[in-house]
Amino acid sequence: MTERPLLSSTEEGSPAMDIYRQLRGLIVSGQLGANERLPTVRQTANDLGVAAGTAAKAYKMLEQDGLVVSRTAAGTRVAESAAVLPLSVIRHIRDLVADAVSTGVEPDDVIDVLRAVWRTDAP
């Protein structure tokens, strides 16, 4: 059985920020739970074809946000206190993604519209 990679290759912009956003998304969506171990910095760098320093920068940003805790012997793990979106929000997001995929909508278009709606409709 082959395991699918945790992260996908970075697209554009800052590779460290792309890695940070992907891991943050996995954590806040509950796909990575409290105390779950992340791949090593070296493994992440190898998987994504980036320098180890780039992956380390992303991990450091996650640590600064309180989403992960890094320990020398234990590696980097999701923090106990990592905030998770409510299940109802996760369900809506998954439904949105499923609808977008089934109709052939591009992810960037969905994200752009979501950001625009958020800016105009959020209190």
121: pLDDT confidence band, cut at 50, 70 and 90?
confident
Q: How far is the C-alpha of 19 from the C-alpha of 110, rounded, in Å?
A: 20
User: What average pLDDT is seen over the chain?
Assistant: 86
Q: Determine the average pLDDT of the residues in 43-52.
A: 95
Please compute the mean of the pLDDT values over residues 54-67 and round it to a whole number: 96
Answer for the pair 62, 79: CB distance below 8 angstroms, yes or no.
Answer: no
Instruction: pLDDT band for 31, please (50, 70, 90 cuts).
Output: confident
Task: Determine the pLDDT at residue 45.
Answer: 95
CATH architecture of 15-78: Orthogonal Bundle (1.10)
Average pLDDT over residues 115-119: 90
Tell how many helices (H) and how many strands (E) occur in the chain.
5, 2
With cut-offs at 50, 70 and 90, classify the pLDDT of residue 29: confident
Indicate if the pLDDT at residue 24 is higher than 80. yes
H or E segment and range at residue 86: none
Query: What mean pLDDT comes out for the span 8-28?
Result: 83
Q: 85: which 2 tokens?
A: 């979106």
Q: Which percentage of the chain shows pLDDT scores above 90? A: 58
Report domain extents, the chain: 15-78, 87-121
- Mean of the pLDDT values across residues 79-89? 77
